[in-house]
Amino acid sequence: MPNLEVKCSRDMESYFLENDGELLRKLHALLKDHKSLDPVTEEPKNTVLRNRVATTLTPWTFCIVGDEEGPSKRVSVNYALGDKPDRKGPLGDRLRKDLGLDLEDVIVNHLSGKYQMEEGREYTMVSETREVNRHHYNDKPRKKAAARPKNVEPNSNPDKPAFEMPPGAINTHCHVNSNGMTPFPWSDDRKYDPAFAPWKKLEELDTFLGFSGEVIVAATCHGTDNSYMLNALRRANGRAFGVAFVDKNISDEELAGLDAAGVRGVRYSYVKRLTNPPPPEEMVAMAKNLKRLTDSGKLKNDWHIDLYCEAADLKDLESHIKAIPIAVVFDHMAVPAVANGVDDPEFQRFLQLFRDKRSCYAKLTCPERLTGSSKPEDWMKVLPFALALAKEFPDHVITGTDWPHPNMKDGQMPNDGTLLNRWIWEVAGKNGDTLKRILVENPRHLFNFPDSAMAK
Ligand SMILES: [Zn+2]
């Protein structure tokens, strides 16, 4: 481990060019090519800052690599990405916030490699301002989060619908995910890193496909932090409603706030590979609370429970579901075991539940997820399940795309246009009236989308 001297700022440029020109080139390339979207406005972001950063980075970047003597043999890597210290604040923080770009990772990886730093030793990183005001900060070693699988990007070349989409169609199951950066970080408990899926992209895609409204369902990767979804609802300006994950101790006032922001449901996931499921009693208590708040006028709209579970979970959940006094909407037809066919007792139990509790709804979605395949031929194995539901409960079925298709692997990622042409159109029996019922009338009624001239 070399002991490197701290250079004064006047010498930084030559110091760096001499010692770490490669790192600088990497940083410059990153900044030059970086095309971030601002997570708040979802617009391409702040070129002025990017240019300024690229030109001022060199003289204001330096690093100190030291090896403190002592029993702990602590290694410190102090790097600084300086704007001039009296300007708006540490540049590293601003880059992270403004451009969604984390240079720390790049720098740490580079320095770790270059100086053969070891895993398990302590690293401290301080930005220039923090270095200057070091006594104000108690910089902790960076928390090393376990690596999570990174989701595949959704298909960016959707086919056009080959049939006429009815005006007023609602995509009742889709998601938005931030890029994980400030101010919309992902949950620490998440089980995957999602693909960046901003409202802007969803709106563009859905408009192309012929949808005119969305139900944005909270994805598990954001935990109970609904801020990114709420940001999307604000931007959607009445076009979309939301379904949230909430903490069981959420206050009436917070629920009223979500109601005013366009949230219309609370999601419960019993899929163990994605979440740690709460006791079903919590779901029932929440539903009763929502009913009480709607009855008393504290919530201005009807809410529903969005339930993500698999066919095998129904046996344990059934009695609880029946105790829910508001609508229950099942994601992906409660994930039937496709290979077992529609006569499978677990799917029959699902149908029976719809007969016993009339306020159940099924999302006829995700043939790609249920088959693990992006091929429409494979989706036909799921069709009998959707048709059985659509035939017996024609007013209780809705559908959607599930964009951006969380956790689909290579070879499973569907084309959203193909989903319309080879799934939704098939589910409707290639009948325009049935299609209108599933895409327009049922969802608009269930979620109380405002009646638009287009919907009728
Ligand atoms: Zn989904």
Is the CB of residue 210 less than 8 Å from the CB of residue 165?
A: yes
pLDDT at 59 over 50: no
Catalytic residue numbers read 402
Q: Is the pLDDT of residue 234 over 80?
A: yes
pLDDT one-digit tens code per residue, 248-266: 999 999 999 999 999 999 9
11 CA → ligand 1 middle, Å: 53
User: Ligand 1 center to residue 284 CA distance, Å?
Assistant: 22
> What confidence category does residue 93 fall into, taking pLDDT thresholds of 50, 70 and 90?
low
Residue 276: pLDDT band with limits 50, 70, 90: confident
pLDDT digits 0-9 by tens, 200-213: 999 999 999 999 99
Predicted confidence at residue 164, as pLDDT, reads: 96
Q: What is the band of 311 on the pLDDT scale with cuts at 50, 70, 90?
A: very high
Of 331, 242, 261, 258, nearest to 293 by C-alpha is 258
397-398 and 360-363: which strand pairing? parallel
Q: CA-to-CA distance for 340 and 312, rounded, in angstroms?
A: 12
**Ligand 1 centroid distance, CA of 217 (Å):** 7
How far does residue 74's CA lie from ligand 1's centre (Å)? 45
Residue with tokens 């403004």: 98
What does the pLDDT read at residue 184? 80
Confidence tier at 275 by pLDDT (50, 70, 90): confident
pLDDT of residue 108: 60
Question: What is the 36 CA–ligand 1 centroid distance (Å)?
Answer: 25
Domain 170-455 has CATH 3.50.50.60: no
Using alpha carbons only, how large is the chain's radius of gyration in Å? 26
Query: What per-residue string of b and e applies to 63-76 under the rule 16 or more CB within 10 Å gives b?
Result: bebbeeeeeeeebb
Contact in structure between 281 and 287 (CB atoms under 8 Å): no
3-class DSSP assignment, residue 235: helix
Question: Within 10 Å of residue 4's Cβ, how many Cβ atoms?
Answer: 14
Q: Are strands 304-308 and 327-330 parallel, antiparallel or unpaired?
A: parallel
CA distance 377 to 369: 14
- pLDDT surpassing 70 at residue 281: yes
Helix segments in 186-237, DSSP class H: 199-209, 227-236
Distance, CA of 102 to CA of 181 (rounded, Å): 8
Lowest-pLDDT choice from 107-116, 204-213, 221-230, 233-242: 107-116
Gap from CA of 118 to ligand 1 centroid (Å): 40
Is the pLDDT assigned to residue 157 strictly greater than 70?
yes
H/E element, 9:
none
Most confident segment among 107-116, 182-191, 275-284, 333-342: 333-342
Task: Report the run of H or E that residue 149 belongs to, with start and end.
Answer: none
CA of 436 to the centre of ligand 1 (A): 22
- Identify the residue with better confidence: 2 or 145: 145
Determine if the pTM surpasses 0.85: no
Say if residue 364's pLDDT is above 60.
Answer: yes
Confidence of residue 173 (pLDDT cuts 50, 70, 90): very high
- Supply the pLDDT for residue 328: 98
- Whole-number average pLDDT of the chain: 79
pLDDT of residue 101: 64
- Give me ligand 1 centre to Cα 190, in Å: 15
Q: Which amino acid is at 417?
A: G
* Average pLDDT over every residue of 35-48: 59
The larger pLDDT score, comparing residue 325 to residue 190, is at 325
DSSP letter for 25, please: H
Return the pLDDT at 88: 44
- Using the mean position of ligand 1's atoms as its centre, give its distance from the Cα of residue 174 in Å: 6
- For the cut 50, the answer to whether the pLDDT of residue 217 exceeds it is yes
Judge whether residue 12 has pLDDT over 60: no
Q: What is the pLDDT of residue 13?
A: 42
pLDDT band per the 50, 70, 90 thresholds, residue 79: very low
Cα 104 to middle of ligand 1, angstroms: 32
Domain ranges of the chain: 9-136, 170-455
Cβ contacts of residue 111 below 8 Å, gap of 6+? 23, 63, 65, 77, 79, 117
Name the pLDDT band for 162 (thresholds 50, 70, 90): very high
pLDDT at 39: 62
Residue 137: per-residue pLDDT = 29
Instruction: Compute the distance from residue 405 Cα to the ligand 1 centre, in Å.
Output: 6
- Is residue 128 scored above 90 in pLDDT? no
Confidence of residue 410 (pLDDT cuts 50, 70, 90): confident
In the predicted structure, residue 456 carries a pLDDT above the cut 50: no
Specify the higher pLDDT residue, 446 or 66: 446
The burial class, CB within 10 Å (0-12 / 13-18 / 19+), for 305 is: buried
